[in-house]
A and B are shown apart, each in its own frame.
Chain A
Amino acid sequence: MATETPYEPSSVLVVEDTLDDAALALRALRGCDRPLAVSVVRDALRARETLGLDVETGVSGRKAPDLVISDLKLPGLDGHELLCLVRADRRLARVPYLLFSSSNELSDVQRCLDCGADAYVQKPIGFEAYLDCLRSVVHWAFDGFPPSRTPSCVIAQGGIHAAAREGA
């Protein structure tokens, strides 16, 4: 008997230029034990193209992913700039967005939350702690379960739930 994923599994976009960190995210997403289609891009320009925000080609109208996980420090356009572009696009404004960064500067955390990040994870982080955080964000984004707060996972006040309520 074959197992079959749903016709439309939840889609996740991972934007990460560091191979080890991309592998960590993929491993953690496998650990979420739910049907997911996870695309990985290595920089924000490819992310813009994937999200349909590519001003060069004028691509738009693509289906929004169900969750974006992005590094903050990226070559070229950084994760904060990408987040602001996403939040400025009506189609993508409510997509749950998790930022992942080695910066522990409060100003970095705050400017990302101010721009609309739903959660911010500080590196370095052990696998179990990252998995706990990611599971919490995934359940929050896809199932509406309240997120848990951990020292290395900053959840935005309101965040995904507030966006959903505003859209109701």
Chain B
Amino acid sequence: MSSVRVLCDEGLRVAVDGGGDRTLLAITDGGAIRFWTETEALERIVRGGSIQLSAHGGDCAIEVTGGTARLEFALEGKGRKRCAFPAAELADALAWVRSLRPHFEGEAMTESP
């Protein structure tokens, strides 16, 4: 059984992990950035909307329109890359995260890079 939900694996790899009310979005494109955010913030955009997650070294934006989630990711020093996946898959992944016990800061994550 997979320990993460993979939303996209062509060029960019977008994986969802976390637990309870915190979701970890791990995006890999040569280098990797893992963005923690509130599960609720991502659940809100499933019905239409957008969110931008930024970190030292990169950022990603997800916009949902018409049942499709479009993700744009930029790693510092590299260009921007995009991928798209059904919003329903994001919703399923978030429901799965909700079903997991919460992680705590500093706890090792289950994904192998």
Contacts and interface: CB of A to CB of B under 8 A. Distances in A.
A7 B24 CA distance: 9
Contacts, number: 86
B77 to A, nearest CB: 13
Contacts of A63: 38
Nearest to B57: A3
B37 A37 contact: yes
A3 B36 contact: no
A34 interface: yes
B41 A36 contact: no
Interface in B61-87: 61
A38 interface: yes
A8 B36 contact: yes
A30 B52 contact: yes
B38 A11 contact: yes
A39 interface: yes
B51 A2 contact: no
A4 B33 contact: yes
A18 B3 CA distance: 40
Given A3-B32, A46-B49, A63-B38, 6 more contacts: A5-B35, A5-B55, A7-B22, A7-B103, A8-B22, A39-B45
Interface of A: 2-9, 11, 26, 29-30, 32-41, 46, 50, 62-63
24 contacts: A2-B26, A2-B31, A5-B33, A5-B36, A7-B103, A7-B104, A7-B105, A8-B22, A9-B35, A9-B53, A9-B55, A26-B52, A29-B52, A32-B54, A36-B54, A37-B51, A37-B52, A37-B53, A38-B51, A38-B53, A39-B51, A40-B51, A46-B49, A50-B44
